[in-house]
Amino acid sequence: MKSLTEIDLEGNRIQDIGPLAEALRVNSSLTNVNVWDNVIEDIGPLAEALRVNSNLTDLNVWNNVIEDIGPLAEALHVNSSLTDLNLWDNLIEDADTRKLRRIWEEKGRDGRKLDLESQRRV
């Protein structure tokens, strides 16, 4: 039996990422999650899932309304599987993008893809 390795939830107006995050805590086959073009504000539940998920390599949360990436930055200290993170076109402050980029590089991910470009300002 084949396992699901990718899930694409693009453009579904998702606000609460909690149910997906809970699934990621126990899932061992998903490697690619795409939730771009939704209305996600709180990335905290997803960050908590990344603390225990060791299979996810590609996370795309492009074009949401995320401002606080502190929980995600902290999760990256313990997660070693993520190699592609796209946070393009959210509401993240410059200081926070610099902090996340520094953590990304400190964990030896400097050759991998981290996209924090085109942050919208309110």
Write out the chain's pLDDT in tens, 122 residues. Answer: 678 999 999 999 999 999 999 999 999 999 999 999 999 999 999 999 999 999 999 999 999 999 999 999 999 999 999 999 999 999 999 999 999 999 998 888 766 799 998 887 65
Q: What is the pTM of this model?
A: 0.92
| Domain residue limits at 25 | 1-5+17-31+45-58+71-85+96-117
Specify the pLDDT at position 122: 57
25, part of any domain: yes
**Angstrom distance (rounded) from CA 37 to CA 115:** 15
Specify the pLDDT at position 110: 63
101, part of any domain: yes
12, part of any domain: no
Specify the pLDDT at position 2: 76
23, part of any domain: yes
Based on the structure, what is the number of domains in the chain?
Answer: 1
38, part of any domain: no
Q: How far is CA 92 from the centre of its chain?
A: 13
Name the token pair of 37: 């073009």
Half-sphere exposure for 85 (CA within 13 Å, toward CB): 27
Specify the pLDDT at position 57: 95
* Nearest-10 Cα torsion for 25, 26, 31, 36: -50
Q: Would you put residue 92 in left (φ > 0), alpha (ψ -120 to 50) or beta?
A: beta
10, part of any domain: no
